[in-house]
Structure 1
Amino acid sequence: MATPETIRARPARAIGTPLASGIAVLSTLLGLVVLAWVILFVTKGRFLKHSFETIVAGQTNRQVKVAGDFQLYFAPFNLKFVAEGMTITNPDWAGTGNFFEARRIDSQISTWSLITGNRRINWLGLEDGRLDLQWNKGNTRNTWTFSEEKGEPLELPVIARALIRGTMVRYVDPRMHIAAAIRVDPVEATDTRFASAVGFDGNGTVRGTRFVMNGTLLSPNATIQGGRNELKLHAEALRTTLDVSGTLPGFTELDGSDLQMDLRGRNIADAFSLLGVALPDTRTYRLKSAMTKAGDEWRFTNLRGTFGASDLAGKVTVKMLQPRLLLTADLATRTLDIVDAGPFIGYSPSASAAGAVVTSVGGAPRILPDAQLRAEALKNFDAKVDWTVRNVRADNLPMSNVRLGLELDDRLLKLSPLNFSLARGMVSSDIIIDSRRQPVVTDYDIRLSPTPMGVLLAGFGVEESGTSGTLKARVQLTGRGNSVHDSLANSNGRIAIILPKGSFWTRNVQLAELDIGTFVQKMFENKLKEPVQINCGLLGFTVRNGIAAADPILIDTEKSVMLGRGGFSFKNETLDLAFRADGKKFSLFAGQSPVGIGGFFAQPKIDVISPELLSRAGVGLGLALVASPLAAVIAFVDVGDAKAADCGPVLAGASARAQRDDKGRPRDDIGKGTTATSEDGKRSRGERKEQRKKFLGIF
């Protein structure tokens, strides 16, 4: 049995042996690290040159060589890397030459970034470098993605500070149609806040258009706390000038940048065409905005500027996605000049500015826009745009409060809503343009809410104070074609303009355009001493293959019923309409003959002395010769047998077949949706053929 003395004599076991073992191992490892650090620091790691070439060549599947000095060590914590005459070859598909070469590269790499994979370079000195950045034709591989997998987008390492001399960068992207060469050289830094200043300039082509650029990038002095790189960039291409200035967090770090953009030129469509984005043409413009990058988005905020005689403000984001970039925008305009709105429906802004919206085709005037939709460009991007316009500057067009919602998804373009206030009424539109199909298919649905005619037609001789009548309308058409003109020229559908009960009064004013006031006076009375009292009215047209036929035209007033026949053509923009007012009561003297509207959309004409009236005048003259002067009056007697209309079908916008008189009987005095309908509702087959030839532009 052990005595207390024996126990004291035994050697004591070391306390915490596992902990001590761990400390010993850690100390050994730390010692080895320190030893390695010392060896690397003393030797500058030059003995690792061959190992470096072998390892990097194996990882990149490229030939890697360092012809001159080589250093790789910790100084004291950042990894110091120096190589002279270093080359990395291109992959075989990129042709001969090197992906990278430099007479000398001197860098300090963040050790922590090597662990986390952030690739941060605290300092880079590069002399006489060459960098060849290429995508292959299929856009599946590039020279900077060293694995055999699909090429990744270009992401430069974060470089905090740099001094680059005599370096050239080449970039080729067949899919984006970009080829550029940029030269980088130091320039004098006059500001003591900056340690170095790098100048760059270059040129190239974007989608076949040549561009030039130049600028400077100033790296901050390391002794200044919180210094940021300052960028100035100037670029010109396709009548467009871009200036960018501001600061970057790092020499190549764009995320979180604080930049200001100034973009100006003759046509904003030029600038966006370089991105492959199709926008309507504009007149001379200038836009300024704050600009930054966040991940895969370029954000343009506090946007403000002008285009033509209109203003623009808001924000725009361009998201670089595959296979199509995404353009989103929230825009607002205080005043939009109607000339600047022309390109949105196909008018040339230069022609519109000169007042030449009417063109001549085959000697005939044409007003429908025939600018072709750039369907191919719609493949390159998607878009979501909201645009509001407070006021529209336009003569005789009381238009305001425009709201446009635009969505483009893989070539399917939706303009919904496309709404605006018009003379205290509201036009609501939904237009779908499907360019996935060729020719392009467009669906039009345009609605006008009840609108005071006195305001709407004030510029056409209508007296607002004596007009209480309103009108509402709807256009529903589907057409095929790559322009507004072609689409409507092949369209099918219906147009209906409805006049509810109200009064209508005109002034005797002659205008260069079609004078609605004069037309009404000729239709109802020689001189209007009081407003026309309208019970109900419908100007309905059925459209087949671009030809609109009256279906029906029927306006019921207190004293008369006005009927119309004929139609118009979207193909050659001709008008051939005849209107006749029949009295509800006996009248001794009444022309009772059609008043015609002919000519073209751009140049309509009123035909007051119609062939029918001349014929009746001849009959009257014959009666006067063979009988007596009083007999001549018989030719102009209106017996007052006009059939009053049932206003129900009229106000519902129903077709001619559904119309009834006030006794509920089907009407037999209105057209049945064909331009070949005469006064009695019938025409010979030959007459119908001749009428169709006229609308098709054969004559």
Structure 2
Amino acid sequence: MAAQRIEAPATPPQDPQDPHARRRRIVRNTVIAIIAIPALIWLVLYITKGRFLKGPFESIVGRMTDRTVTVKGDFQLYFAPLRIKFYAEGLTLSNPAWATRPDLFAAEKIDARIAPLSLLFGKRRIYALDLTNGAADLEWNGAHDRNTWTFSEKKGGKPLEFPRIDVANVTGTTVRYRDPRLQVLADLKIDPIRSVDARIGRAVGVTGGGTIRATPFTVVARLLSPDATANRGKNELVLRARAANNVIDVAGTLPSIADIEDAPLRTAARGRNMAELMQIIGVVIPQTRDYRLRGQMVKSGDEYRFTRITGVAGASDLAGRLTVTVGPRIHMDAVMATRALDIVDAAPFIGFNPDIVEAKGAVAAAAATGAGPMRLMPDAAWPVATMQRFDADLKWTVGLVKSRKVPISNVDLTLDLERGRLALSPLTFAMARGNVASDVIFDTRPRPSAVSYDIRLAPTPMGRLLAGWGVSESGTTGTIRGRIQLNGRGDTIHDSLSTARGRIAFVMPAGSLWTRNVQLAELDLGTFVQKMFENKLEKPVQLNCGLVGFTVRNGVAAADPILIDTTKNVIVGRGGFSFRTEAVDLAFRADGKKFSLFSGQSPVGVGGYFASPRLNVISPDLIARAGAGLGLMLVATPVAGVLAFVDVGDAKSAACGPVLAGATAKAQRTTKGAARDDVGKGTTATSEDGSRPKGQKKDQKKKFLGIF
């Protein structure tokens, strides 16, 4: 029996209206389109090299960046095969309208292979880059709230960011950087860069120069970790800049090649004068001798913080911190400390050049400021305009001032400069076991500057204070205290004191004074001979009280009074000195309290100038008295000749109350309460109109400094 063939039932025809079949067709066609369209686009781009996209590229990128994009030569943009191939000749990308240069970036040729997905996600990556003669112009605007490389209208510029570059061949690259607020303009040239597999393998150099606040500078830098930089990693940078006789070295690790924000950088500076360094950023400080400083710098926004500063300036050490805030007005905030300050290094604080002081002395340094012959006070004008452009706060402590004459230590200076008003308040220091406190104000806002001096000397042992001028510490128990209060107008120290008004007073309470050399004390003839020829006193001078006071008017200081009461004598002085001419014209006279057979009874003068005072111990009065004595010996008897030197001892002891109070001559009294007739009445200051005080006798008309 033949086998029967069993046939499978025929598949029923599909219904065109079947919804499941319809969805399958849509999915199939979509997948084909998704694959075919990019393939077609890729094929078209690959065949045409994407040259037809030149116009759309310029237009689209221009709208995205709000800049003008131009490709003058050949242009290619396509996938080769899965990497984006970008090629452009004569590419330019414009700057915003406010910039000083037309183009942010221009290149003779760019040939790059770019990872497509990196344009959308993560770090941008360039597999290969060939860049020829690229030029970048990086600028900040005047308000420092926009820059040329941030493509946004929002305020606040972003730091430059570089992509990862695996293979690079970069030649002829230049960068121009401009920051109007810092007044910096730099033109830099970058050495050729060649890398393979994101490894450059050698340091990349940068050279160039420019100006900072009109001061020319040059710079040489090297990127020591170019491989890491190419991979957007750490950036080891060393840089050396030279400007205005200064050398600045910077080294450290940057977060990116063009960003120093919050990156600690090792910084060192050296030069012949630190004032030249600070002048670069528009800040005025006193001159210094050769200096060497090092520390750490961190930039944070508008602040440049220098910490761990150590070094020397001249023969003095320096340590501390400094913050410079850059804005419409530069502000400096510093805390500094010095263990030992050489007195020569302190000379610039009164306007002297320390190198001249060290080599030729103070008089030569004063002459270098424009002062006249034999002048000691500097006549250098303060930089008023610059002082009004920046602000500063300084706290400076000095352990010891190295000086041959006056022992000074524990200096504590607080400085405040705000809009042209400079205050040294307080300025305190220890001097010979005593303390000096002062407040000095230089206000440059009025014209000429208004200057005030208030200097206070706490009770200080005279032995140590005057040890450099022949006073022996052993046997000297006297102290001295005083105050100087002056107000003047002028743009130099000399001018401000030449117009000064005020008072100077130094008070000596009871004590003893022992001199090793000729000094102005105990001026009767016998003591004078001892001083002159034996160069010492057998016993200290016993002081009851003393006052050396001056009233200052229009820069001229007149004795008001000079009155020193000792156990044997009353010493009075007249005359004064001038801040205008720096001339000194003082006369001291000692009247004995007891009868003395041999007494000169004649003034001993101090003349000359601040820079070269002169002691007139053999005065014309003494010579005249000796002549009179010789005449009496010739016409009468030898005994009569000594009458010219007799002191009857009628000097009235001084009431120490007004003396110790620093009172003027008018208030001085004898111990019995009577007004003194040996001070005032022409022996001290005239009235303000220059007239002779009431009661002055005609024979008192000898003038000192033109004021008596």
What TM-score range do you get, normalising by the shorter chain?
Answer: 0.7 to 0.9
Contact 2:146 2:157 in 1 (8 A): no
Provide the C-alpha distance between the structure 2 equivalents of 1:264 and 1:40, rounded to a whole number of angstroms: 66
Contact 1:185 1:199 in 2 (8 A): yes
Contact 1:189 1:196 in 2 (8 A): no
Contact 1:372 1:483 in 2 (8 A): yes
Task: Choose which of 656, 676, 696 in structure 2 pairs with 1:682.
Answer: 696
Cα deviation for residue 146 of structure 1 reads 8.7
Q: Please give the residue correspondences for 1:201-220 in structure 2 after superposition, counting only pairs within 5 Å.
A: 201-219=207-225
The question of 1:351 aligning with 2:356 is answered yes
Amino acid at match of 2:435: M
Cα deviation for residue 192 of structure 1 reads 10
| 1:20 counterpart residue number | none
Task: Choose which of 237, 252, 261 in structure 1 pairs with 2:258.
Answer: 252
Task: Choose which of 324, 332, 341 in structure 1 pairs with 2:337.
Answer: 332
Cα deviation for residue 189 of structure 1 reads 8.6
SS in structure 1 at match of 2:625 = helix
Contact 1:366 1:572 in 2 (8 A): yes
Provide the C-alpha distance between the structure 1 equivalents of 2:40 and 2:472, rounded to a whole number of angstroms: 97
Provide the C-alpha distance between the structure 2 equivalents of 1:574 and 1:101, rounded to a whole number of angstroms: 71
The question of 1:89 aligning with 2:94 is answered yes
SS in structure 2 at match of 1:256 = coil
Amino acid at match of 1:245: A
Task: Choose which of 668, 685, 707 in structure 2 pairs with 1:673.
Answer: 685
Amino acid at match of 2:395: D
Amino acid at match of 1:156: P
Contact 1:277 1:377 in 2 (8 A): yes
Q: Please give the residue correspondences for 1:277-288 in structure 2 after superposition, counting only pairs within 5 Å.
A: 277-288=283-294
SS in structure 2 at match of 1:654 = coil
Provide the C-alpha distance between the structure 1 equivalents of 2:307 and 2:415, rounded to a whole number of angstroms: 19
| 2:561 counterpart residue number | 552
The question of 1:486 aligning with 2:495 is answered yes
Contact 2:118 2:125 in 1 (8 A): no
| 2:464 counterpart residue number | 455
Provide the C-alpha distance between the structure 1 equivalents of 2:378 and 2:197, rounded to a whole number of angstroms: 56
Amino acid at match of 2:137: D
SS in structure 2 at match of 1:339 = coil
Residue range with higher mean Cα deviation, 232-241 or 669-678: 669-678
Cα deviation for residue 166 of structure 1 reads 2.1
Q: Deviations over 1:172-220 (max 9, x none)?
A: 5667554432112335799998667432111223344322111112455
Cα deviation for residue 363 of structure 1 reads 7.4
Q: Deviations over 1:531-555 (max 9, x none)?
A: 1111111111111111111111111
Matched length? 646
Contact 2:522 2:569 in 1 (8 A): no
Task: Choose which of 561, 567, 570 in structure 2 pairs with 1:561.
Answer: 570
Q: Please give the residue correspondences for 1:399-438 in structure 2 after superposition, counting only pairs within 5 Å.
A: 399-438=408-447
Contact 2:686 2:693 in 1 (8 A): no
| 2:479 counterpart residue number | 470
Provide the C-alpha distance between the structure 2 equivalents of 1:685 and 1:139, rounded to a whole number of angstroms: 74
Amino acid at match of 2:277: A
Q: Please give the residue correspondences for 1:22-33 in structure 2 after superposition, counting only pairs within 5 Å.
A: none
Q: Deviations over 1:228-249 (max 9, x none)?
A: 1010111112211111112112
Amino acid at match of 2:328: P
| 1:272 counterpart residue number | 278
Alpha-carbon spacing, 1:356–1:437, altered in 2? closer, same or farther (3 Å): same
Pick the structure with greater CA Rg: 2
The question of 1:623 aligning with 2:620 is answered no
The question of 1:440 aligning with 2:449 is answered yes
Amino acid at match of 2:519: T
| 2:642 counterpart residue number | 633
Alpha-carbon spacing, 1:621–1:686, altered in 2? closer, same or farther (3 Å): closer
Cα deviation for residue 456 of structure 1 reads 0.8
Alpha-carbon spacing, 1:569–1:113, altered in 2? closer, same or farther (3 Å): farther
TM-score, L = length of structure 1: 0.81
SS in structure 1 at match of 2:630 = helix
Provide the C-alpha distance between the structure 2 equivalents of 1:469 and 1:556, rounded to a whole number of angstroms: 13
Amino acid at match of 2:160: P
Task: Choose which of 112, 137, 142 in structure 2 pairs with 1:132.
Answer: 137
Gaps of 5+ in 2: 1-30, 531-536
Cα deviation for residue 590 of structure 1 reads 1.1
Alpha-carbon spacing, 1:497–1:505, altered in 2? closer, same or farther (3 Å): same
Cα deviation for residue 277 of structure 1 reads 0.9
Alpha-carbon spacing, 1:523–1:183, altered in 2? closer, same or farther (3 Å): farther
Cα deviation for residue 142 of structure 1 reads 8.1
Provide the C-alpha distance between the structure 2 equivalents of 1:342 and 1:157, rounded to a whole number of angstroms: 46
Contact 1:287 1:304 in 2 (8 A): yes
Provide the C-alpha distance between the structure 1 equivalents of 2:269 and 2:329, rounded to a whole number of angstroms: 23
Q: Deviations over 1:61-111 (max 9, x none)?
A: 6533244547699x99x9999865432335667677434323438698999
Contact 1:160 1:249 in 2 (8 A): no
Cα deviation for residue 339 of structure 1 reads 0.8
Provide the C-alpha distance between the structure 2 equivalents of 1:145 and 1:194, rounded to a whole number of angstroms: 26
Provide the C-alpha distance between the structure 2 equivalents of 1:546 and 1:112, rounded to a whole number of angstroms: 78
| 2:398 counterpart residue number | 389
Cα deviation for residue 625 of structure 1 reads 3.7
| 1:15 counterpart residue number | none
Gaps of 5+ in 1: 1-30, 509-516
The question of 1:519 aligning with 2:515 is answered no
Residue range with higher mean Cα deviation, 159-168 or 406-415: 159-168
SS in structure 2 at match of 1:650 = helix
Provide the C-alpha distance between the structure 1 equivalents of 2:671 and 2:117, rounded to a whole number of angstroms: 94
Task: Choose which of 278, 294, 302 in structure 1 pairs with 2:300.
Answer: 294
The question of 1:157 aligning with 2:160 is answered yes
Alpha-carbon spacing, 1:412–1:645, altered in 2? closer, same or farther (3 Å): same
SS in structure 1 at match of 2:388 = helix
Amino acid at match of 1:451: T
Q: Please give the residue correspondences for 1:568-647 in structure 2 after superposition, counting only pairs within 5 Å.
A: 568-647=577-656
RMSD: 4.2
Alpha-carbon spacing, 1:233–1:81, altered in 2? closer, same or farther (3 Å): farther
Q: Deviations over 1:347-403 (max 9, x none)?
A: 101101214211358974122122322222223321111111111111122111111
Alpha-carbon spacing, 1:577–1:91, altered in 2? closer, same or farther (3 Å): same
Amino acid at match of 1:352: V
Cα deviation for residue 450 of structure 1 reads 0.7
| 1:198 counterpart residue number | 204
| 1:13 counterpart residue number | none
Provide the C-alpha distance between the structure 1 equivalents of 2:651 and 2:707, rounded to a whole number of angstroms: 31
SS in structure 2 at match of 1:358 = helix
Provide the C-alpha distance between the structure 2 equivalents of 1:110 and 1:500, rounded to a whole number of angstroms: 92
Contact 1:551 1:674 in 2 (8 A): no
Q: Deviations over 1:120-141 (max 9, x none)?
A: 97779665222335678x8799
Alpha-carbon spacing, 1:522–1:502, altered in 2? closer, same or farther (3 Å): same
Q: Deviations over 1:632-651 (max 9, x none)?
A: 32222222221222212211
Provide the C-alpha distance between the structure 2 equivalents of 1:40 and 1:141, rounded to a whole number of angstroms: 46
SS in structure 1 at match of 2:610 = coil
Cα deviation for residue 156 of structure 1 reads 3.1
Contact 1:565 1:679 in 2 (8 A): no
Provide the C-alpha distance between the structure 2 equivalents of 1:364 and 1:370, rounded to a whole number of angstroms: 12
Amino acid at match of 1:452: P
Cα deviation for residue 113 of structure 1 reads 12
Provide the C-alpha distance between the structure 2 equivalents of 1:38 and 1:263, rounded to a whole number of angstroms: 60
Contact 1:187 1:199 in 2 (8 A): no
SS in structure 2 at match of 1:578 = strand
Provide the C-alpha distance between the structure 2 equivalents of 1:390 and 1:109, rounded to a whole number of angstroms: 64
Provide the C-alpha distance between the structure 2 equivalents of 1:652 and 1:252, rounded to a whole number of angstroms: 68
Contact 2:561 2:665 in 1 (8 A): yes
TM-score, L = length of structure 2: 0.80
Provide the C-alpha distance between the structure 2 equivalents of 1:62 and 1:139, rounded to a whole number of angstroms: 21
Q: Deviations over 1:37-61 (max 9, x none)?
A: 9899967997876556446645776
Alpha-carbon spacing, 1:221–1:434, altered in 2? closer, same or farther (3 Å): same
SS in structure 1 at match of 2:476 = coil
Q: Deviations over 1:631-673 (max 9, x none)?
A: 2322222222212222122111122222222222222321343
Alpha-carbon spacing, 1:237–1:641, altered in 2? closer, same or farther (3 Å): same
Provide the C-alpha distance between the structure 2 equivalents of 1:503 and 1:113, rounded to a whole number of angstroms: 91
Provide the C-alpha distance between the structure 1 equivalents of 2:284 and 2:573, rounded to a whole number of angstroms: 43
Provide the C-alpha distance between the structure 2 equivalents of 1:243 and 1:457, rounded to a whole number of angstroms: 47
Alpha-carbon spacing, 1:380–1:187, altered in 2? closer, same or farther (3 Å): farther
Amino acid at match of 2:389: N
